[in-house]
Structure formats: C-alpha cells, structure tokens
C-alpha cells in the first residue's frame, strides 16, 4: 500500500517529538498498520536541533505544507489561535486530514472546523489536545461509546497539579511554588493560562462535547484558578480527609450541563486524589461501566507526540474509507444536541467554608443557624485557633450538596454577622462517587 | 443507513447486560454512529428475567444465530472453550463479525480464530475479555499505537484483588477472606481459576500479544496464585512501604518477553498500588508516552456489557469498509513476530524473602553473606520476633533485581544453612518505574 505522507507544521517541542517518534518507531508503526507513515514535508521557521530533518523537504511557510499536493495529513503544531485556525481551514479546503495538539483552537473554533471537515470528508483529530499522551478522547468517543456519560472530572493541567502537590507536600505558599515551577519549566513566565484555569477550561470544553454530544461552548465554561488557595486550606482539607485538586468537571443535569473548572476538595481515598505532580488523570462516570479513570503524562514532547502519532495512525487506518472514521465530536454532526450550559449559580455542589469569627460562646450556634435557615446541612466542623491569645478563630465547615445560588445567599448572611470578620473562603467539594 | 443487526449468544449475566445496554442506550448509540444497532436475534437456553426480549427472535440453539442470514454481528457470551470456539468459527465461516467477552477462548484459540477472520475479512473483537469495562485493548492497540511498548502490568482479576485488599485492610487470612468472597459472589465455588492466576494469565496473554505484536502464547505464561500469601507477609511488606498485588506482568527483554502472573510487592506510592477491592487497573510503560494507567470495573454485567457494546459500535463504524478495522492483535497478521517467552528462570526481578532463623549472634552475617556471594544486593532487612521467648526470628529481606535462576541458587544455599529452619518464602517485587 502507498505510504501515508505527513506534513508537520511547527517543529518546536511537540513538533520535534512527533518527528522523532515517527522516525524512531517507523518499523513498529508499519507492522501495526501494514503501510508506511513518512514525514513528507516540514513547515517551520527554524530547525529543531533535536531532529535530523536533512532528508525531508522543508518550508519556512507552514501554508506551503497545507497546500502541498504530496501531503496527505497536515499536523498542526504551531499553537495559538488565528494563524492555526487559518492553517487548519486551508488544509481542510485542500482535502487534507488534520491532526492537531491545539486545545485552544478546538475549544474556540472546533464547531467551524468540524463542519468544514465534514463537508470535505476529512478527519480532524486532536487526541493530543487533552491530557497529552493519555488516550482519553479515544476512550470517551469509542471505548465508552455504549454508555450514557454522566460526569467527566479531570486533573487536566499539569502546572496547576504540580503547584497544589508541592503546597500540600511541603506546606508551601502558592507564590513560592509558582516561582519554582517556572524555574523547572513547568510554568510559563506569564502563568495565567495555567493557574487561572483557562487551559483546563479549553480541555474541559472538549471533554464535555464528546461526552454529551453537544457543540463546543467554551465561552460558557465557569473558570476559577488556584492562585487564592492558602496553605491553611490545604492543611484543613487534609485534616478532614480531603485533598484540594484543580478539577475540570462536566456533569449532565436534568436541565443542562455543568461545565466548570475550579479548586475542588475530593476525598483522599479516591484514586484521582492521589494523582500528583505534573501528571494528569481523567475520571469518567457512565451509566453502564460506572467509574473509569485514565492516567498519564499531560504534557511534554514525546508524551504529546504519542497522541499525535496515534491520531495519524487512526487517519492511516481509515485512509481509504474516511466515512468509517469517528466523527469529530464523537457524535454524528447533525445529531449534536444544544444542551444548555448551566450558569454557575445553578450548579449543585458541596462546599468547604472557612471564616474568621470571634472566639466567644454562641458564635458557632449563630453561624450554623444561618446555614440551617438556608436549608444547608453541615457534614463536618473544625475550629482552629489562629494566633495564641487572640480572640479570633478559624471556623471550617463542610456542607452537603446545595445549589450555588443558595450557598451564595448563606455566605452573604454569614458575612453580615457582627461576629464574623472579613469574607468567607469557599472551595467547592465533590465526592466523585 | 441500514441498521446493524446483532445476534446475542448467551443471555446470562453479561448477555443480559449487553441486551439491556443496547436497548436502553439505543438512541445515544444511534446519535454516535448515525445508524441503529438492533438486537436481531438471541440464542439462549433460558430467558433472563432481567431482560424484556419479547420483541426479539430467539432460538435455544446458539448455532442458529451464527448461521442466521439476518445477523451481521455475532456476540459470543456463552463462555467456555470448545462450544464457544465452534460457535465463533461457525460465525466467521458465515461471514459474521464476532464480538466476544471470552478471554480463555482468545488466549487459547485466538491465533486460529484471527487467521480465519482475516481470510473472511471480518472482525473479531474482545475488549470485554480483558479488564471488563476498561477500554484497555483499545488504548494499547490504538491509543498507544505510536509507541514501542516495554511493559504491561495489571491487576486483572478482581477476585484476587478483593482478597488481597481484605487481607491487608483487616489483617485476615486468605482462606477466611475467600469464604467471604464466595458469599459475596466475587469468587466461584471452585475458586482455582481466579486465585491461582489462570484467569489473569489468559488476560495477560492477550495484553502481551497486542503490546508486542506476537502470537498468543498462553501455554508459555508463568502462573502463580495468591493462596500461599500469609497475613505476616502482607504486614511486613506494608512496614517496608510496599503493597502485595496479584499482577500480570508482560515485559519486553532483549532476548524475548517475560509473561508472568504472580503476587508482587509494589511501592505503596504507585497509583496502581492503591487500586483496591474488585477494581482492575492496567499500567503500560511505553517509549514515547511513558507510564499511563487505565482503571475501572473488571467484571459485572453492565461494565462488561459496556465493552461488548463498544466493540459492536466499532464494528458498526467500519461495517462498510472492514479493511479499515484494527487487526485482531493490533498488528497486521503477517507482521506478528515470534518473540520467545522467557522461561521463569530467566526473568529478572527484585525479591522479598522471608525465612526463619535462629536468633543468635552472627546469623544475619551468615545469611547476608550467602546473598552477597551470589552477587545479590540487599536493599532492606527486617528482623521480627516470632513468639516471645523463642530462639527463632523472622528475617525479611528485600533484594535488588537479579535473574531468577541466580535467586533460586541463593535460596537453596540459604535453606541448606543449619541456622535456617524450613523453606524461604519468596515474593517477587517490582518498582514499576
């Protein structure tokens, strides 16, 4: 059979890794699919010293690759939004299959991209965009395809998980660990994208669409970062038997879906609570199979390349019958349902609350009374001295599940109490059961 | 598009689950693949009270299903070896695609079955055969297809994992927990298949073939059960920072592959060490992606049905172009390599050793001297009093990695010492790093 000819656009970390994996494992790959996959062309402004590309045609203009008649599959690894979008649309217009690791591109422009690909009868694959080398897109779109999926919850940003792990293991401050993460190359100079949850929201947006069969709705995702988490909260959570993780949660409700990224207390005996450092994991709860989890490296040159190459192999396996490939969002395009994303006020969650209150008789009764009046049940209470001799105590409460709007009202009422100083710290909690 | 017509053979636990999942999620499935999957026919000696099959054609003879002209996909869920083999071969001969949950069938007769399927151009899918609802076959054959896979290590028998978990959590005896597992329905009246590792060896045989691209070689697998594990060993392992799990391990070596099922000490901070109860997990180490892990329910009606239905959906997606389906063992059939399975004497492993020795000066030096003379490095030593006042101590040692034959000689030498009574208990150890 004719080889599948790949054009790699972008030869940075992931592009270089992809080139090297395709080259090094060419024979293993040929044994798997019965035909060769060759790198036909590379589009990159600079060479990558980690790659010997001397035998490959190159261009400084990635659009040359997207238009090249000898290229079957365009691999978009330039990142960013606008140029990447134009590049992918050009490739599709030229009848090329597309493989990308660009979660932002898919989360923001995926609906348009999949529509164009559908018209041209080409595949757009993006396994590498979510949780790096973990084949979780495949697991959801194919492995769990017999299920009605209820919840997807994932640690899908390695930077954030590294920071929270260090904060817990070494009782360190957020700011302090962030500097270390930057030194280690785990966090960017401007870490906003990772620590404020935007990157995780891109990935969650994709996971939600393939889980529920709805269009991509990034702009509706609720996103909250980890920069406000204090060591005290990490410690108190621990004492109560919980870990704080930065989770992306997509959950099917009767009247729509929840789509939210925020720090979350989860019981320490859940397997996902023990996913530490830069590792990623995605938990899926579905009606037939129950809970499954997928764990691995969420970033890095070759882990990400592993997913890119798996996508290329998928394209190769269905190359002569593209109709048999899995649809972009895992559901046939005209079967996508416009499921509304619920506003954050309408989500349901249990909560961890921390507040400063006067350390005097009756205060606890007053505070718990406010929650009780709001119909909120308390699961656990912890009272901690802040500084010896001071008349202020940290009060920590875990509540049962309520609607966020209900909790907002209760928190406002607590903050209005004379005996309470400052604001109430609120971290959502999920039992994941 | 024409519906895909399924014939279910066997309507027991998994057959009933499959029928119910296909029926309940029919609409979700149709949205995914753009065509209907319908249960055309059922072959079963008895109805299943959990299933309303009144609208479906039935036969008491499963071979009627394998030959029925209206059936596209035969789902073999009768279990066992001989009749199942004949049924599957009949279905293939009649040009049907086959989906099965029967690991024993695939491990023992898979080479013959895949060869026949290849000639007829039909698929034989068996995701449900390994680790129940966890889509690990798909992960390895497709999700990690760009990798050269080095190691697969899995907790792939829920009964065994339940027993070991209970032994650890409650310091109970094997025999005692086994009775409870039987009461709970987790273990059969004759538990040999599960506790002696035969079931796990079937699954491991399949995992090894799809990981390395070699024919199925069940008869070469080394299999050791958990019935000899004592509470003392569980406790000592714990003190040393390890958990004992019944692992299936397939590992690529320079001169062949290791294929072995046995109790294994693994460091407690590995995620897989924390997979408890009846749950399954499979860890894969591969050259590009590094370590990934797949976790979920390894048995049960609907978890297993989840995998069966995913396979049916895969068949449906490539129904009009069967050449685009993934080959049976993940590699093109004429590209399978006859990798030799190493005899257990040639595997390399670290070890946990426990022995009874006289509690007198110089004994430890004598014993460690034997290991040292055999070129075996000791990583940790623990000495434990057995009964107060007695002159015998339990000595526990963890060694570095050596060849098993070397360890056999060292153990023989230790057992020959006057100061050592009885035999040396040996449990293999794996850092899984």
Domains contained in chain A, CATH given: 4-133+301-335 (3.40.50.720), 136-297 (3.30.360.10), 348-429 (3.30.70.260)
B393 in Cβ contact with B356 (< 8 Å) = yes
Question: Is A125 within 8 Å of chain B by CB?
Answer: no
Q: CB-CB: which of A146, A300, A309 is closest to B25? A: A146
Question: Is B25 within 8 Å of chain A by CB?
Answer: yes
Q: In whole angstroms, what separates CA A111 from the centre of its chain?
A: 18
Contact B139 A142 (CB under 8 A): no
Cα dist from A187 to A162, A180, A182, A303, whole Å: 9, 9, 4, 17
Q: CB-CB: which of B274, B302, B312 is closest to A274? A: B274
Cα dist from A70 to A42, A92, A144, A290, B175, whole Å: 12, 14, 36, 46, 66
Question: Is A303 within 8 Å of chain B by CB?
Answer: yes
Q: Phi first, then psi: what are they for A152, rounded to 5°?
A: -125, 130
pLDDT in tens, chain B (433 residues): 899 999 999 999 999 999 999 999 999 999 999 999 999 999 999 999 999 999 999 999 999 999 999 999 999 999 999 999 999 999 999 999 999 999 999 999 999 999 999 999 999 999 999 999 999 999 999 999 999 999 999 999 999 999 999 999 999 999 999 999 999 989 999 999 999 999 999 999 999 999 999 999 999 999 999 999 999 999 999 999 999 999 999 999 999 999 999 999 999 999 999 999 999 999 999 999 999 999 999 999 999 999 999 999 999 999 999 899 999 999 999 999 999 999 999 999 999 999 999 988 889 999 999 999 999 999 999 998 877 777 889 999 999 999 999 999 999 999 999 999 999 999 999 999 8
Cα distance between residue A351 and residue A89, in whole Å = 44
Q: In whole angstroms, what separates CA A200 from the centre of its chain?
A: 4
Q: How confident is residue A207, by pLDDT bands cut at 50, 70 and 90?
A: very high
Question: Is B268 within 8 Å of chain A by CB?
Answer: no
Mean pLDDT of A58-79: 98
Residue from B118, B275, B296 whose CB has the most chain A CBs within 10 Å, to mutate: B296
Measured between CA atoms, the residue of chain B closest to residue A275 is: B271
Cα distance between residue A38 and residue A8, in whole Å = 11
A193 in Cβ contact with A299 (< 8 Å) = no
Contact A289 B296 (CB under 8 A): yes
Q: How confident is residue A359, by pLDDT bands cut at 50, 70 and 90?
A: confident
For the annotated catalytic residues of A, the residue numbers are: 203
Which of chain A's residues have a Cβ under 8 Å away from the Cβ of B290? 133, 296-297, 300, 302-303
pTM attached to this predicted model: 0.97
Measured between CA atoms, the residue of chain A closest to residue B326 is: A317
Residue in A299, A298, A317 with CA at minimum distance from that of residue A123: A317
Residue A206 token pair: 């994709």
Q: CB-CB: which of B289, B307, B321 is closest to A302? A: B289
Closest CA of chain B from A424, distance in Å: 35
pLDDT at B391: 83
Residue in B274, B276, B257, B258 with CA at minimum distance from that of residue B266: B274
Cα distance between residue A127 and residue A130, in whole Å = 6
Task: Evaluate whether ipTM surpasses 0.90.
Answer: yes
Question: Is B274 within 8 Å of chain A by CB?
Answer: yes
Which of chain A's residues have a Cβ under 8 Å away from the Cβ of B141? 32
Closest CA of chain B from A148, distance in Å: 7
Tens of pLDDT, residues A223-243: 999 999 999 999 999 999 999
B200 in Cβ contact with B155 (< 8 Å) = no
Residue from A143, A286, A294 whose CB has the most chain B CBs within 10 Å, to mutate: A143
Cα distance between residue B41 and residue B57, in whole Å = 5
Cα distance between residue B160 and residue A387, in whole Å = 51
Tens of pLDDT, residues A249-288: 999 999 999 999 999 999 999 999 999 999 999 999 999 9
Mean pLDDT of A141-154: 98
């Amino acid at each position: 059979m004719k080889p599948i000819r790949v054009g790699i656009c972008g030869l940075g970390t992931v592009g270089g890794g992809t080139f090297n994996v395709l080259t090094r494992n060419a024979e293993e790959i040929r044994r798997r699919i019965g035909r060769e996959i060759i790198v036909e062309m590379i589009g990159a402004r600079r060479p990558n010293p980690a790659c010997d590309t001397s035998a490959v045609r190159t261009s400084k203009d990635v659009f040359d690759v997207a238009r090249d008649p000898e290229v079957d599959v365009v691999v978009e690894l330039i990142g960013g939004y606008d140029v990447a979008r134009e590049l992918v649309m050009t490739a599709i217009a030229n009848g090329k299959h597309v493989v990308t690791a660009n979660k932002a591109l898919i989360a923001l422009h995926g609906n348009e991209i999949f529509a164009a690909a559908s018209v041209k009868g080409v595949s757009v694959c993006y396994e590498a965009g979510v949780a790096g080398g973990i084949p979780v897109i495949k697991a959801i779109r194919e492995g769990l395809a017999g299920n009605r999926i209820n919840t997807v919850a994932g640690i899908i940003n390695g930077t954030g998980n590294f920071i929270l792990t260090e904060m817990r293991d070494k009782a360190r401050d957020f700011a302090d660990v962030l500097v270390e993460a930057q030194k280690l190359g785990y966090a960017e100079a401007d870490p906003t994208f990772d620590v404020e949850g935007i990157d995780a929201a891109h990935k969650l947006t994709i996971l939600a669409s393939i889980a529920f069969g709805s269009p991509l709705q990034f702009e509706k995702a609720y996103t909250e970062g980890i920069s406000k988490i204090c060591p005290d909260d990490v410690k108190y959570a621990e004492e109560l038997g919980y870990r704080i993780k930065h989770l992306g949660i997509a959950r099917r409700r009767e009247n729509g879906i929840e789509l939210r990224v925020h720090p979350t207390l989860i019981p320490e005996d859940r397997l996902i609570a023990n996913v530490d450092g830069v590792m990623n994991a995605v938990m899926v709860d579905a009606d037939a199979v129950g809970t499954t989890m997928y764990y691995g490296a969420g970033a890095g040159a070759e882990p990400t390349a592993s997913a890119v190459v798996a996508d290329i192999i998928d394209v190769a396996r269905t190359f002569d019958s593209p109709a048999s490939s899995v649809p972009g969002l895992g559901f046939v395009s005209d079967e996508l349902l416009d499921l509304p994303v619920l506003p954050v006020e309408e989500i349901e969650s249990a909560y961890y609350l921390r507040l400063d209150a006067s350390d005097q008789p009756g205060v606890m009764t007053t505070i718990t009374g406010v929650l009780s009046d709001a119909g909120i049940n308390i699961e656990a209470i912890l009272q901690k001295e802040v500084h010896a001799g001071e008349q202020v105590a940290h009060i920590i409460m875990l509540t049962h599940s309520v609607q966020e709007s209900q909790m907002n009202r209760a928190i406002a009422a607590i903050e209005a109490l004379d005996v309470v100083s400052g604001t109430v710290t609120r971290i959502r909690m999920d039992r994941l059961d």
